[in-house]
Amino acid sequence: MVFLGVDPGFQFAGFGVAKQEGSKISLLDCGYLQMAPTKALPERVELFYDHFLALVIKYQINTLILETPFLGKNAQNFLKLGYLRGILYLIASQQKLQILEFSPTQVKLAITGYGGASKEQVARVIKQLFPKLPTPNKADVTDAIAVTLCGIWQARPRFNLR
């Protein structure tokens, strides 16, 4: 099975693609989509759709994994994040993908063993799990890998990483 974990955002949207073969998990791809804040909202939504649909098709994704949003301080950002989540739900429906969602606390707990872990702690664990992974220059990438692993581990808790 091939999994796509997404950390959606309107400026940077992180992603991690991992493949499960038996008891092994391989990280196939990871990175982020950067969208210029000067672009109009419809342009960014289209760019987001095109990028993630292309990933789904390229890697023949079976399962899409998302982190549930939290309101935070800015309701406007929360609303805009809903647009991106809607795009991911549309892609999942169109491509017949399973969708899994986890709260930030569940993701941090799965990765670090502590639901209140910092982004830096999550990134350190990801680096330990995938030592050949170049250090990502955005937390969105390690967050997306963490979401991906959380989803895989939720399905079957014990895997060997390579």
User: Each residue's pLDDT tens digit in the chain (162 positions)?
Assistant: 999 999 998 889 999 999 998 889 999 999 999 999 899 989 999 999 999 999 999 999 999 999 887 656 666 676 777 889 999 999 999 999 999 999 999 999 999 999 999 989 999 999 999 988 887 778 889 999 999 999 998 876 444 554
**Per-domain residue ranges of the chain:** 2-161
Is the sign of the CA dihedral 36, 41, 46, 51 positive or negative? Answer: positive
Q: What is the CATH number of domain 2-161?
A: 3.30.420.10
Tell how strand 63-67 and strand 24-34 pair up. unpaired
What are the CA-CA distances from residue 117 to residues 6, 51, 62, 103, 112 (Å)? 19, 30, 29, 13, 7
Instruction: List residues with catalytic annotation.
Output: 7, 67, 140
Going by C-alpha positions, the residue among 31, 155, 48 that lies closest to residue 102 is: 155
**Contact residues for 104 (Cβ-Cβ < 8 A; gap 6+):** 67, 68, 70
> What pTM was estimated for this model as a whole?
0.90
Rounded distance, CA 57 to CA 54, Å?
5
